[in-house]
Amino acid sequence: MTVSQIMEKMIRSSGGNIHDIEHFMKVWSYAKTIGELEKLDPETQFILEAEAITHDIACPMCREKYGNANGKLQEKESPALISAFFSDTDLTESQVERVSFVVGHHHTYEGVDGLDWQILLEADFIVNASENEYPGENLRKFLETHARTESGKKLIQEVFSL
């Protein structure tokens, strides 16, 4: 399965929710950019892009089941949805497990164990900060406490003119 095929499948499964589709496409584009600037190996880059595309897979279910898409609820519901999403693909068990793990922790900043997870956090932050108009103090705090990649830090500074 290619990144484009994952993208097409995720768009199809989004049921025409333009906000959700545009959100994951923006997160994917920042994640892809940061990953390439950080010179990830091809396997890690592929996993990162799969994670970025599917990172909010649980949002529709959470909105229906709980009335909101709180990050911790997304993390709770994501692993089963990721397994089902990739069940009919050629991704290896190991690839699906990694995507499931990172998507199931994409609102968790502690214990980050790989560049794929770190970059997803940074890419999702950039998009969330833009969509929700985070104040400058929130942007600077994220830069100081959670941004780790040089490329992610630079993009955050450049996107938000810090």
pLDDT value of position 51: 98
Q: Which two tokens stand for residue 156?
A: 């955050």
pLDDT value of position 118: 98
Distance set, CA 118 to CA 13, 95, 146 (Å) = 26, 17, 9
Residues of the chain with pLDDT under 70: none
Q: Which CATH class is domain 3-159?
A: mainly alpha
pLDDT value of position 1: 95
> What is the torsional sign of CA 146, 152, 155, 159?
negative
- Dihedral-angle region of residue 136 (phi above 0 means left; psi in -120 to 50 means alpha; beta otherwise): alpha
Please identify which residue in the block is written with the tokens 């989004």: 14
Report pTM.
0.96
What distance in Å separates the CA atoms of residue 15 and residue 21, rounded to the nearest whole number?
A: 9
Neighbours of 54 (CB within 10 A): 26
Helix (H, G, I), strand (E, B) or coil at 56: coil
Residue type, 82: I
Distance set, CA 11 to CA 5, 120, 132 (Å) = 10, 19, 22
Q: Which two tokens stand for residue 80?
A: 């089963």
pLDDT value of position 154: 98
Residue type, 72: K
pLDDT tens digit sequence for 112-123:
999 999 999 999
* CB-CB contact of 67 with 59 (8 Å): no
